[in-house]
Amino acid sequence: MTIKLTVAPHIRDIIRRLTEAGYEAYIVGGAIRDLMMGRAPKDYDISTSARPEQVKEVFGRKRTMIIGKRFRLVHLYHGNEIIEISTFRQAPEETGRITDKQFGKPTPENMIFSDNEYGTAEEDGWRRDFTVNALFYNPLNDEIKDFTGHGIEDMKNGTVRAIGNAALRFEEDPVRLLRALKLVGQYSFHMDQDTEEALFRQMPLIVHASPSRLTLELEKIMKGIYSHAILPAFHRYGLLRYFLPYVDENWDTPATEYAMRLLAGRNKRVAEGQFRDSISVAIATLALPYIERRFCCETGALWPYEPRTLGIIYQVLNEAFQPHHLIKRLSMSADRMLQLQTALVNSNKVGKITGLQGYTHARELMMIQNIVEWHSPTLEKLWPPEPAIEFKPKKRNRDNRRPRR
Ligand code: ATP
Ligand code: MG
């Protein structure tokens, strides 16, 4: 069937170039869902009959990179944007499944460890996780392919339905438990009854999911603009106790209630283009109420500045995100902006503070608290959006350069 979706021009161009080179190519995944829901896609995934090397040939070596161990796909660079181009694959045969004896640790019998068999577009549709994720769109002729026969209808009704046997699909890859609930939170979808029953039954399998894939999902959720809706969905379905146990244990507390309101504030500002989608700001936003509680018991009250607080901020920050190991750059940046909060609110040494590293992020964290809780008319005016002092790299003295060999 045909349907008119407004696709970014450069994405259309990528599909056109692959088509002109003789390959089949479609937009797939989250972008189709977003476009059908009238939302702006955050990124695009493309699926094609071209093999990774062939994609590289079409777009040239400079713009592309083959990545991935589990399956190889191409990253195509367009300015700051990365577009994922994957080759049609089929569902793995029994040989792709490894039992616990081979793997050396207890894993579900049907867990998939390798799925790198190329296939047709239709086979690629069937190997995907949910019907709403198996829609293939060709922007050149507006054709949408719904191989499972349920995708379009499920999009219309807001239903998350596993493709095939739901219990088996969750067992094959327990990260799908989380992916299903992301759809529930992000779009306010409901779950088809079979899928929901299987999800509850298979939930404990999440402990077998690879920690690095889960941390990647955490980063994606925090970077995106639906964390305030996704985390409550995780809690309602009992996933949060595995994914963010600290937040789950503290769910019915004023601190978590405040954290969700702050996250909603952060997400609204990103959606409105008031600040970039920084992961470290999102992380600091979620952790802030727990830090306040540690020092002064009241939400929205911040904490008095004392040298002893510095180590504690870092400690609470890491505790809130366990069992994930946040990359150092993220946790250090979040720590820095949290440390600056008391100074920003209580000081009037504007010139001094705006020159500090991390000022713009710290200001954003303060603005989030201000729009959600404090509603002070003066803070925004007092603190300029950009640092007053520009960091300029030191000019190198040409005469001191080492001679070229
Ligand atoms: P997001 O908006 O978070 O990017 P997405 O659905 O596009 O959502 P991706 O991780 O980008 O998620 O995956 C792209 C597509 O690849 C999915 O829509 C789905 O069709 C397929 N896919 C991803 N992960 C799995 C999985 N674990 N099992 C089966 N299919 C998957
Ligand atoms: Mg995607």
Q: Report the distance separating Cα 51 and Cα 336, nearest Å.
A: 44
Tell me the CA–centroid distance for residue 106 and ligand 1, in Å. 26
pLDDT of residue 334 exceeding 70, the answer is: yes
Closest Cα to atom 7, ligand 1: which residue? 30
pLDDT of residue 57 exceeding 90, the answer is: yes
Query: Which atom of ligand 1 sits closest to the CA of residue 43?
Result: 4
pLDDT of residue 98 exceeding 50, the answer is: no
Greater pLDDT, 298 or 281: 281
pLDDT confidence of residue 342? 87
Under a CB-based contact definition with an 8 Å cutoff, are residues 170 and 176 in contact? Answer: yes
Ligand nearest to the CA of 134: 1
pLDDT band (50, 70, 90) for residue 65 = very high
Q: Report the distance separating Cα 163 and Cα 131, nearest Å.
A: 6
Note the CATH number of domain 9-209: 3.30.460.10
Q: Report the distance separating Cα 324 and Cα 245, nearest Å.
A: 10
pLDDT confidence of residue 113? 58
Q: Which two tokens stand for residue 301?
A: 């009250």
Ligand nearest to the CA of 40: 1
pLDDT of residue 21 exceeding 60, the answer is: yes
Tell me the CA–centroid distance for residue 46 and ligand 1, in Å. 11
Determine the average pLDDT of the residues in 153-178: 97
Determine the average pLDDT of the residues in 317-327: 95
Ligand nearest to the CA of 44: 2
For 2, list phi and psi in degrees, rounded to 5.
-110, 150
The reply to whether ligand 1 has any atom less than 6 angstroms from the CB of 128 is: yes
On average, the pLDDT of the chain sits at 89
Q: What is the pLDDT of residues 224-249, one digit of tens each?
A: 999 999 999 999 999 999 999 999 99
Q: What is the pLDDT of residues 378-394, one digit of tens each?
A: 888 888 887 755 545 55
pLDDT band (50, 70, 90) for residue 100 = very low
Under a CB-based contact definition with an 8 Å cutoff, are residues 46 and 83 in contact? Answer: yes
Q: How many CB atoms lie within 10 A of CB 340?
A: 22
Closest Cα to atom 13, ligand 1: which residue? 29
- Class of residue 219 by CB neighbours under 10 A (exposed 0-12, middle 13-18, buried 19+): middle
Query: Which atom of ligand 1 sits closest to the CA of residue 86?
Result: 16
Q: Which secondary structure element, helix H or strand E, spans residue 66, and what is its range?
A: strand 64-67
Report how far apart, in Å, the C-alpha atoms of 330 and of each of 153, 193, 280, 304, 334 are: 40, 39, 5, 24, 6
Against a cut of 0.85, is the pTM above it? Answer: yes
Q: Report the distance separating Cα 212 and Cα 215, nearest Å.
A: 5
Which amino acids are annotated catalytic?
Answer: 43, 45, 129
Report how far apart, in Å, the C-alpha atoms of 154 and of each of 128, 162, 250, 328, 387 are: 15, 11, 34, 41, 48
The domain locations on the chain are: 9-209, 243-382
Block residue for tokens 């504690």: 312
Greater pLDDT, 339 or 356: 339
pLDDT confidence of residue 95? 41
Q: Where are the alpha helices (DSSP H) in 47-174?
A: 52-59, 100-103, 121-126, 151-157, 166-172
Q: Report the distance separating Cα 40 and Cα 35, nearest Å.
A: 6
Closest Cα to atom 16, ligand 1: which residue? 29
* DSSP-assigned letter for residue 136: E
